[in-house]
């Protein structure tokens, strides 16, 4: 054990294998840790019987920060895949217009978009355009015949909402700073309740 919080894995420990992490060209091995582990202590393992309201405020803020960052990253990931798919669909359209039936079929099949991406787009439509639900079956039917138009529509709407999320984050940053300034020092005090009783 290196300290109260950190320890070293024994030589006999067999680390689980992650195919994505060890993919060719992957640089995560240079930054991710395989040697040390951490044991939570203090407030992280909830050993304190009396809750510190200032600490709770910081925990809630941390959850809000994670939630909005996660949403933004999801939009970035799906928009990037849609952009790749748009390029692919335009190539398909060009070959189809040239009547090159030997190299292209009459039905477009997505190359980069998966069911996971379509599910994300569906959840987005259910949330933002609840009055006009859009099923995955409808998406697949339209994208098979008019991929370029549908993908461009998706990109436009997702980018608009992505920009709104980034603006919302910028507004919240000032609020988060105020919350941190008001609560951080007091969140470290876990003796005041007992001190008053003593």
- For 19, the domain range is 1-39
Overall domain count for the chain: 2
Query: Look-up: residue for tokens 């933002």?
Result: 128
User: Considering the domain boundaries, does residue 55 fall inside one?
Assistant: yes
CA distances to 20, 59, 142, 159 from 135, rounded to whole Å, are 30, 36, 11, 20
Q: Are residues 10 and 55 in the same domain?
A: no
pLDDT at residue 198, rounded to an integer = 47
Give the whole-angstrom CA distance, residue 150 versus residue 86.
9
Q: Are residues 61 and 158 in the same domain?
A: yes
114-115-118-122 Cα dihedral, nearest 10 degrees:
-170
pLDDT in tens, the chain (198 residues): 566 667 887 777 777 666 666 665 655 566 667 777 776 655 554 555 566 888 889 999 999 999 999 999 999 999 999 999 999 999 988 888 877 655 667 789 999 998 889 999 988 888 887 777 778 888 888 899 899 999 999 999 999 999 999 999 999 999 999 999 999 888 887 666 554 554
Q: Are residues 25 and 61 in the same domain?
A: no
């Amino acid at each position: 054990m290196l300290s109260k919080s950190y320890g070293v894995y024994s030589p006999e420990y067999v680390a689980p294998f992650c195919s994505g992490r060890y993919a060719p060209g992957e640089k995560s091995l240079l930054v991710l840790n395989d040697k040390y582990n951490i044991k939570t202590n203090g407030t992280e393992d909830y050993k304190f019987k009396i809750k510190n309201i200032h600490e709770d405020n910081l925990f809630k803020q941390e959850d809000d920060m994670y939630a909005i960052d996660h949403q933004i990253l999801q939009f970035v990931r799906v928009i990037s895949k849609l952009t790749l798919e748009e390029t692919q669909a335009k190539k398909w359209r060009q070959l189809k217009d040239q009547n090159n039936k030997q190299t292209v079929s009459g039905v477009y099949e997505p190359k980069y978009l998966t069911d996971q991406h379509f599910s994300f787009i569906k959840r987005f439509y259910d949330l933002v355009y609840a009055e006009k639900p859009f099923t995955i079956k409808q998406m697949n039917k339209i994208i098979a015949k008019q991929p370029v138009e549908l993908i461009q529509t998706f990109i436009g709407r997702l980018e608009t909402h992505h920009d709104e999320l980034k603006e919302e984050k910028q507004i919240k940053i000032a609020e988060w700073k105020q919350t941190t300034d008001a609560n951080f020092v007091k969140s470290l005090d876990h003796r005041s309740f007992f001190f008053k009783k003593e």
